[in-house]
Structure 1
Amino acid sequence: MAVTDLKQTPLHNLHLELGAKMTAFAGYLMPLQYTKGIIHEHLHCRSQVGFFDISHMGQCRILGDNAASALEKLTPGGLVDLAVGAQKYTVLTNDDGGVIDDIIVTRTEFGLSIIVNAGCKEKDFTYLKQQLADDCQFEVCADLVLFALQGPAAVSLLGKYAADITCLGFMHSCATQIGGVDCVVSRCGYTGEDGFEISLHQDHAEQLARLLLAEPNVEPIGLGARDTLRLEAGLCLYGHELSDNISPIEARLQWLIKKGHQNYPGANVILKQMQQGAERIRVGLLIDSKIPVREGSVLHDAEANVVGFVSSGSFSPSLSRPVAMALIGRNYADIGTVLYATVRNTRIAVTVSRLPFVPHRYQR
């Protein structure tokens, strides 16, 4: 796709003003990093507050009294018991037990609000329109943008502008104002840190971004650090640890399956995997080298048998060493198992590790 064909978020000019190096991602021109680099941005988010423009993500609503029960038929996660303001992470599944997308669902007074992945939003919107019951109203919220404030100082910073957000529990949301701008703020994120996601109308995007970035301990964070942060936190990325042919059980997301729920696409496959175990599962890997082992690298045992592949891999700024996640045969998934990857004709030992690599600091 040519650069001229890429979409831009409402903060595009601000990103350039801040010295962003831009890159193509999911049909958008997005900031990869800013002038201080990925490692600095990563560590700043872990120690202070990072500001993320995630307006490329898709936002939509399902309205109506039966919105929750209708969507629950498309996902293994329970939604009908969600209280207003509560959120749930779940997945849309296909008939083979694979994942169409992973989504965040929020119960609202009028139905459900949903955030979907940027690269999946058009197929998700089409799918939801086709599958939802006639008594539900589906709306794409193309006029909304999404920011994230992540890091240990996020709550004290945002609390200066909206005191009500300090009382929010993890995976809960509320409507409020920040600097006079109407927003919906959710206590959630994709870094493993405490923090918030902020949904607001695009007309106020730059106003609010400049307000937050003017705070002395806030710095902008690009896609590069967003990826290393979520990798350290052991969080799945669609197209890597989740896909049309990777089930939630293989991705070790069995905790999101609602007990007794059997009425959703692929339930027969997923429930069988829950009972008998999946043939392959997601694991963490510590890399015994300074060389990162990247996505797609094939993994072998000591006898050179293929046992799986790396789904995500990078340098961990927090641990000062490369780490990775992989899908491997369950017989090789015990903590401490040593496997091997080949990078530039060099055999590198990797050790199966617990996830996350860096402990989560969500506000429970």
Structure 2
Amino acid sequence: MQIHPLITDSATLAALCERLAQSPYVMVDTEFMRENTFWPDLCLIQIADDKEAAAIDPKAPGLDMKPLLDLMVDNEDVLKVFHAGGQDIEIIYNLTGKTPHPLFDTQIASMALSQGEQIGYGNLVEAWLGITLDKGARFTDWARRPLDKRQIDYAIGDVTHLSALFPMMLEELRKTGRGGWLDQEMERLADPANYAADPAEAWKRVRLSSRKADVLGRLKAIAAWRETEARDKNLPRGRIAKDETLADLATHPPRDQADLAKVRGLSAAWRGNDIGARLMQAIATSEPLDRDDMPEREPYRPGPGKDGALVADLLKLLLKIRSREINVAARLLARSDELELLAAGVRERLAVLEGWRYEQFGHDALDLVEGRMAFAVVNGKLQMTRTARE
């Protein structure tokens, strides 16, 4: 594979993207810093196909990133391959308003190949290629310039190794017939709604037990205020105010700006400064939450009685057995909350009762709950046995 020098000029980047656009897939990774900012500070982009690889310096003066971004979000003929790509995709969404598509995530794919639920990149490379990665540059300051050769070599390794192992994973998925199991997971990862940070929706991320319309209306207003302040100052949300502080302000609103000095988690200086005034303005202009926007209550679901928790535990045991039998990560088959709903009598809108999940696990889970299947010990091993015909 040809490894290019660090790309810092527009002509070289455009030529690279033109060549990569002819490939069926490209590997993508980014290096960024976000410990002290609201927006991730993009410091390096690595990209490769099976023939060439390069690192691109987005901080290079005058670099036109459009050819690369067009390849990411507008070229439907090229599959974009990531490992644990959520934050990489968020960066691309922030730059373009779109997500890469189509895409493939090797961490998600590994769940269908019995390699755990969140396998790290180093462990994945070691498992498939027998290569132990040097992690020395993992926590480097990627924003500092110039980048040295060790940093660049480390970063490019994230896509060159991915280029080698991706076709191997793809072949294994084809052989096992499990490629289709991942379609829904990949589309969920590519959904732009995951990355759109709308200030008007920020309140939904703050935990608050109250269902009073006025309290939730204040929470909505001050959460939007915090989102705007954090964006404008490019600071993490928690640097403006923590979630528990927002919940306290929504539940017990201060009478005037001077009272902000008494709020735990806020600086005493807010009783007289501009940011405190903007917070008070948000509280003063808040309106009770509309009925249509109220969080939905969980509908009453008659459970299987006082033993419901035990039934859910049996389902979780069945999930462990079945995931081990078919060599797949348990979380790909079913989530714990779904099993609890199944134990409580819910039969609709559960992914575990649809498609391949139903065939591989949901069918037996339903039989267990409805008394058509039981656990048995055979030759010292725990197995499932049918108790009645359907």
| TM class by smaller structure | under 0.3
> What's the TM-score once normalised by structure 1's chain length?
0.28
Higher relative contact order (Cα pairs below 8 Å, separated by 6+ residues): 1
> What's the TM-score once normalised by structure 2's chain length?
0.26
Give the greater-gyration-radius structure (CA).
2
Larger proportion of strand: 1
